[in-house]
Structure 1
Amino acid sequence: MDPVIVVGAGPVGLALALSLAAQHVPSVVLDEGDGTVEPRTARTVVLRPDTAALVARLGCVSARDEGAHWSGWRSMRRKQVVTELTLGDEGEFPGDGFPDSGYLSPLHVPQHTLTRGLYDAAVAHPLVQLVSKARVDTIEQDGKGVTVHTRDPGHLYWRGSYLVGCDGARSTIRKLCGIRFAGRTAVERHAVAALHTELPWPDMAVMHRQPPWRGGGPEVTARPLPGDVWRLDWLLPPRGDLVTPDALITRIRDTLAGWCGETPPYELIDTGVYTLHHRLAQRWREGRSFLAGDAAHLLGALGTQGVDEGLRDVENLAWKLAHALHHDASDTLLDSYEQERRTAVAARLRAADQALPILRGGRGLRAVLPGAARSHDGMLADGHLGGGALGALPVYRHSPLAAPPHGDADAVVATEPGAPVEDVRVTAPDGTAVRLRDRLGQAHLLVVLVAPGTGVWDRRHWMTAGVMPRLATAVTALPVPAELLVAEGYPGATAHTVLLVRPDGHLVAAFDGVRPAELYAAADAARGGEPEEPDAQEAKDPQEDVSVVAVPGDRTADIN
């Protein structure tokens, strides 16, 4: 099996290589850097529970050990507290439980910690080859694979089955594929400082709009990290004067004094000024080449998280590439990556573009969104904490992999088809009790039987009782590999409900009882249908004639 060539060794590229390795697919990661990761505490990422779980599954223990889960969220305006929410740990709210706020605590971690943890896991994995100082300048595609040429440090050719560009906003792969990267520039601009100090709200994230002190600006947020370290962000005018070191120190002192009554002792660790753009690649697939992460999309305004979306790209694409390499795949399966993920990110960008005039322009809420009842603070909380159009988990309602309706056979549960499943406790056929999310990303579908009471039975009894033998036979007959799991319960499900779940955790279908024919049809839809015959595939492949593209001469040119 030829490896998948991954270009870019940031969090998204490394996570993709590890996700492929977990599904027994080798990869080569080509990166222009030298393998070192510069510590920048002021550059952090916020991972929602689904992406934090992905990172943990991939073996990045440093993110968990050096990251912080927030206990709550406080929103302030001028001198008043507008909202104060308790954030729940997902482990405390299994299945259908949520804290009263409706939000689960995200994981806040320095990006260099995340990158280093993923890098160490990749170095230790035998199916991942890391190549540093490798600058790509040519791609050649044919019906059977991709050849990549790197000119630094030496002229080398790399042969792979597929190519994925995870090489950031100025992606060489995107340019080589001739893909436009349209969007908006400088939608938000922030001054950032990481410092060691004590604030009145330990472990709680704070958003303060229109703070009353001089020079506070329109908005400042404080997000905790372990060890009394905080990241502070000040919203700046999109285009304004440079933020000098003296001006930033003044902002820090005034903000700390405004929150604490007087400026407490603090140690400044790191600073920065970040400009956020909104851009979306016109296409995410060109033959055997794909884009993921910042190479495919840029977002980050109003609390939305680009790394979060990049990791969702990884989870969506990895199992589809693994299926293509292990079992062959139809174009429907591979095309569905772009159709699902680009649609989801485009919806996120549209929501942010609609909200920006409301939240940053001072216009009335109903002037732009008639009938909307959400407050400004609620909309911002959605972006920062993961809710609503700005932050909720993606639902692939119109996916080409959607299962056909089956009338009376279909069951209604709390999760709609195409949405991520709840992370309930399940039991594997070997008797192991785990979380459902722990079984994701292993290149096979999951079939979950809801069977209340099995938890108190000996496995030897319930594996051969009731509907289990018939369901086990139906799972064995599916057109793709699947793992059979049993759950005590699932939100909205009755006894003997059967769930079919994709390797990335999205629900394909739910059935009322054991329905072998309907289960087979849903599994066939989830794999994109029957793979095409190799001869027919080669006859219609638009890349049959080798295409060669040279890198643009100016690598520092504006994003195209």
Structure 2
Amino acid sequence: MDPVIIVGAGPVGLTLALLLTRQNVPVVVLDEGPGKDEARLARTVVLREDTAALLERLTGMALGEHGVRWAGWRSVRRKQVMTEIAFAEDDPAAPLHIAQHIVTKALRAALAGEPLATVVTDSRLDAVEQERTGVTAHTRGPKATWWRGSYLVGCDGPRSTVRKLQDIRFPGRTAVERHAVAALRTELPWEGHAVLHRMPPWRSSGPSAGEVTARPLPDGAWRLDWLLPPGKELITPEIVLARISETLTGWTGGDAPAYDLLDTGVHTVHHRLARRWRAGLVFLAGDAAHLLGAFGTQGLDEGLRDADNLAWKLATAWHHGPHEALLDSYQTERRAVIAARLRAADQALPVLRGGGLRGIVPGAARGQDAQFTDGHLGRGALGAPGDHAGSPLTPRHLEAAVPVDTPPGAQVTDVRVTAEDGSFVRLRDRLGRGALLVVLIAPGTGVWDRKHWVSAGVMPRLAAAVTALPHPAELLVAESYPGAPAHSVLLVRPDGYLVTALSGVRPADLYTAAETTLGGSAPEAEPVAEEAREPEQEQEEQRVGERAATAEAGSGLR
């Protein structure tokens, strides 16, 4: 089999390449640039628990040592503190804020050690040809040549050449928000806390009053973002310096504290969603497939989830032959999640930015603040990772199914498990290897050596059932799982989503669930809405077409 061709060497493309090589799939990464990333502290990312853990598994790097996990969250409106949340030191809900170039560098270093990976720099894609048996891609530049692949994935950003060559439309909204950005080193009153200050009292009322957000970085550095009024006003260095001075003065209540300006930029938020994420043997992921980012939601987080979702499905097809329903499910699952988040943001945008509701409905300001908080902390409709409850890969009507605290199609809780070699590991550490995970909930096993219970009770029968599954699977044992009865069995996808929970060892139901997870026979799922905001998308598309991509700023929170 030919390697998988990945176009684009940003965080999403590199993550996908690592996930595939760890599942013994060779890859060729076509990097338009020189293979290095400029250090920019005005270009940072906020990672949620699952995506941070994914990157740490792949790179072996403790990202928290190179970024900052928020000690808390503080939301202020004018002079009133609306919300204040403190995170414990090891609280997994605390977002991680880190410079994007550090993430990319760690991914590049990890990929350099993979014998199945070939990274080609200074290679710009200019043609893609598909046949029944594979894909051929042509690059121009110093290393111009033809590349042969089994599949091709466009991770080449908002101006995606892959998307354009496949004639896939990219409708949506241009410049939903604009932010002036400054990274600086100074002392602020909220050490380690992220702060959202809406309608600060030192700004005049009206649309220009805006808001400012502060997010901590290592070594006393901060990233500050000021929401800009609608329009295309040129942001000069003088404007940025004035914003810094008035904000620091307002926050400290006196003269502006000394600061070192480290970097500046303008971050423009677009909301767009590709009509298709698959065209035969070609797929889209990350910013090539979607753009989002208003109200604190982060596009890179979702791009990494794209890679995690697609990798095990491509690996399955690469090793075991065509699995068309499984490959189709990538678009079905991930596009539905992004469409829901874009729809929620578009519905909230007029209310949260319009400002008129506060004077009409009592308590509206606090309701708005709750939505802002959800977006920034990765909760609720604006921020929480989506699930795949409506996926065609979710089995239905299993007689032995039992409810647990994690619904089918949602991410599993990370618990301690005993691996097949008897070692104690975290459940999340077994993800990303391409195998299904079968977890037996057996209270008391944690205090006994594995050799004493591996051949007792239901274990032999369960081990035989796992061996008979239609896909490689790993048998794990946990003392407990939230909401799971003793002796229940969980089936988990390679990307960490729960397939089902069964009452006891039920080989037939377990096999049926595994078969459905691979795209086998299953009752027809309810259709998922294909478009997030169809009328607005169509109107915008007719006016601006692909201009959103060219308007993308050179720096910004992703």
Using the size of structure 1 for normalisation, the TM-score is 0.90
Q: 2: distance between equivalents of 1:373 and 1:268?
A: 34
Do 1:63 and 1:117's aligned partners in 2 also have CA atoms closer than 8 Å?
Answer: no
Q: Which amino acid in structure 2 is aligned with residue 345 of structure 1?
A: I
Q: Residues 60 and 291 from structure 1, CA distance in 2 versus in 1: closer, same or farther, beyond 3 angstroms?
A: farther
Confirm whether residue 115 of structure 1 aligns to residue 104 of structure 2: yes
From 460, 470, 478, give the equivalent of 1:479.
470
Q: Deviations over 1:145-192 (max 9, x none)?
A: 100011212431100110000000000000000000000000000001
From 367, 389, 394, give the equivalent of 1:375.
367
Q: Residues 559 and 235 from structure 1, CA distance in 2 versus in 1: closer, same or farther, beyond 3 angstroms?
A: closer
Counterpart of 1:191? 180
Counterpart of 1:233? 225
Q: 2: distance between equivalents of 1:60 and 1:166?
A: 23
Counterpart of 1:245? 237
**5+ long unaligned stretches in structure 2:** 522-545, 551-558
Q: 2: distance between equivalents of 1:420 and 1:372?
A: 32
Confirm whether residue 298 of structure 1 aligns to residue 291 of structure 2: yes
Task: Give 3-state SS (helix, strand or coil) of 1:290's partner.
Answer: strand
Q: 2: distance between equivalents of 1:119 and 1:365?
A: 48
Q: Deviations over 1:74-112 (max 9, x none)?
A: 0111111111102245x557xxxxxxxxxx101100011
Counterpart of 2:430? 439
Q: 2: distance between equivalents of 1:25 and 1:320?
A: 11
Counterpart of 1:469? 460
Q: Which amino acid in structure 2 is aligned with residue 517 of structure 1?
A: A
Q: CA deviation at 1:214?
A: 3.3
Q: 2: distance between equivalents of 1:405 and 1:372?
A: 42
Q: CA deviation at 1:374?
A: 6.8
Counterpart of 1:207? 196
Counterpart of 1:421? 412
Q: Deviations over 1:23-66 (max 9, x none)?
A: 11110000111112011101100000000011011115273321
From 314, 321, 324, give the equivalent of 2:314.
321
Q: Residues 13 and 142 from structure 1, CA distance in 2 versus in 1: closer, same or farther, beyond 3 angstroms?
A: same
Q: Residues 452 and 374 from structure 1, CA distance in 2 versus in 1: closer, same or farther, beyond 3 angstroms?
A: farther
From 480, 499, 522, give the equivalent of 1:489.
480
Q: Deviations over 1:348-397 (max 9, x none)?
A: 000100111111111327999x9999711110111111000011121101
Q: Residues 25 and 8 from structure 1, CA distance in 2 versus in 1: closer, same or farther, beyond 3 angstroms?
A: same
Task: Give 3-state SS (helix, strand or coil) of 1:413's partner.
Answer: coil
Q: Residues 558 and 383 from structure 1, CA distance in 2 versus in 1: closer, same or farther, beyond 3 angstroms?
A: closer
Task: Give 3-state SS (helix, strand or coil) of 1:105's partner.
Answer: coil
Q: 1: distance between equivalents of 2:312 and 2:323?
A: 14
Paired residues, what number?
A: 522
Task: Give 3-state SS (helix, strand or coil) of 1:58's partner.
Answer: helix
Q: Residues 277 and 558 from structure 1, CA distance in 2 versus in 1: closer, same or farther, beyond 3 angstroms?
A: closer
Q: Residues 557 and 419 from structure 1, CA distance in 2 versus in 1: closer, same or farther, beyond 3 angstroms?
A: closer
Q: Which amino acid in structure 2 is aligned with residue 193 of structure 1?
A: A
Q: 2: distance between equivalents of 1:371 and 1:477?
A: 57
Confirm whether residue 158 of structure 1 aligns to residue 147 of structure 2: yes
Q: Residues 361 and 557 from structure 1, CA distance in 2 versus in 1: closer, same or farther, beyond 3 angstroms?
A: closer
Counterpart of 2:263? 270
Q: CA deviation at 1:70?
A: 0.4
Using the size of structure 2 for normalisation, the TM-score is 0.91
Task: Give 3-state SS (helix, strand or coil) of 2:466's partner.
Answer: helix
Q: Which amino acid in structure 2 is aligned with residue 435 of structure 1?
A: R
- Answer with 147-156 or 432-441: which moved more: 147-156
Q: 2: distance between equivalents of 1:401 and 1:502?
A: 10
- Answer with 232-241 or 274-283: which moved more: 232-241
Aligned residues with identical type, % of pairs? 64
Counterpart of 1:553? none
Confirm whether residue 501 of structure 1 aligns to residue 472 of structure 2: no
For the aligned residues, what is the CA RMSD?
A: 2.0
Counterpart of 1:97? none
Counterpart of 1:287? 280
In the TM superposition, 1:91-106 aligns within 5 A as 104-106=93-95
From 283, 302, 307, give the equivalent of 2:300.
307
Q: Which amino acid in structure 2 is aligned with residue 254 of structure 1?
A: E
**5+ long unaligned stretches in structure 1:** 94-103, 531-555
Do 1:62 and 1:113's aligned partners in 2 also have CA atoms closer than 8 Å?
Answer: no
